[in-house]
């Protein structure tokens, strides 16, 4: 209504045809990209795998807890034995060493380093 109605109609017609061209080109580009893009892994499957597999931080906490528990249990038993028998400090020293060995064994077992042979139960 500004006196240029004919020009407005031409621009509207060219705009719809250019929109159609752009849409067609966009669809063509999407199909080309889909053909070249490798198939993406299923997101749900990755989520389930990460849920079943403990994280590295969780494994580290478990292994450190296994080690500390072995040393503390050995030290506690040695201290109790020393108090009961009066053999201070030998029970504490011996059982601390045994607790250290037990802690290392627990860490190796928890990490999967020690596996059972197929014939054993």
Mean pLDDT of all residues in 34-44:
72
- pTM for the model stands at 0.51
| 3-class SS of residue 38 | coil
Domain boundaries, the chain: 1-39, 55-111
pLDDT tier for residue 114 given thresholds of 50, 70 and 90? confident
Q: Say if CB 113 and CB 88 are below 8 A apart.
A: no
Tens-digit pLDDT profile for residues 63-109: 999 999 999 999 999 999 999 999 889 999 999 999 999 999 999 99
Q: What is the pLDDT of residue 38?
A: 79
Tell which residue, 68, 52, 58, has the closest CA to residue 100: 68
């Amino acid at each position: 209504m500004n006196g240029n109605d004919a020009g407005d109609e031409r621009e509207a017609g060219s705009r719809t045809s250019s929109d159609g061209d752009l849409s067609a080109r966009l669809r063509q580009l999407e199909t080309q990209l889909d053909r070249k893009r490798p198939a993406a892994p299923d997101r749900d499957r990755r989520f389930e795998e990460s849920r079943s597999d403990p994280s590295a931080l969780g494994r580290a906490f478990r292994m450190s807890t296994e080690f500390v528990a072995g040393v503390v249990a050995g030290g506690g038993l040695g201290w109790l034995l020393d108090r009961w028998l009066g053999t201070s400090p030998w029970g504490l020293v011996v059982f601390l060493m045994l607790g250290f060995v037990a802690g290392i064994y627990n860490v190796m077992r928890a990490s999967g380093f020690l596996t059972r042979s197929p014939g054993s139960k």
